[in-house]
Amino acid sequence: MVADPRNLPSWDRRIAGVHGVPPTGLGPGVEYTTEMRFMGVRASVRCRVVEWDPPRWAVIVLSGIVDATVATRVDALPGGRSRLEHEVDYHFTRNPLGELAARSIQVIGGAYLALRHGTLAQKRQIEEGR
């Protein structure tokens, strides 16, 4: 579930869609586009898989309105549980659209709260077995 970016719109309301994910799924070098929505404005973010070791590890590089590196790690825990960890290094581009996106993130309480909301949505989906 975490490995399928097509789940992103159900985890984060600011993501309007994900396009170009191959039917075979992700892997090193795969590229796709995430369409984001900020205060009624849409923008595309290009995504490229640079590291891939399912189900434990992935690194995705984003470019566009936001330039970022997202590292995702899933560790098995006792009792059939898992620990999901995201490390995100990002900055919004210095143009009117990037500034609008940065302001919209601040309106909702900052990047930490936005990421926490998405991570909790992932956790709920995993626990529900969807």
Distances in Å between the Cα of 107 and the Cα atoms of 16, 19, 69 are 19, 27, 23
Q: pLDDT (tens digit, 9 = 90+) per residue, 20-57?
A: 999 999 999 999 999 988 667 788 889 999 999 988 89
State residue 94's pLDDT score. 65
State residue 37's pLDDT score. 80
Ranges of beta strands (E only) in the chain are 15-19, 31-38, 41-53, 57-64, 66-77, 81-92
pTM above 0.75, yes or no: no
Closest CA to 68 of 41, 105, 42: 105
State residue 61's pLDDT score. 95
pLDDT in tens, the chain (130 residues): 467 889 888 888 878 999 999 999 999 999 999 998 866 778 888 999 999 998 889 999 988 877 889 898 988 889 988 888 888 887 776 666 555 555 565 555 555 445 555 666 666 666 666 5
Looking from the CA of 82 toward its CB, the CA atoms found within 13 Å total 17
Domains and CATH numbers, the chain: 5-123 (3.30.530.20)
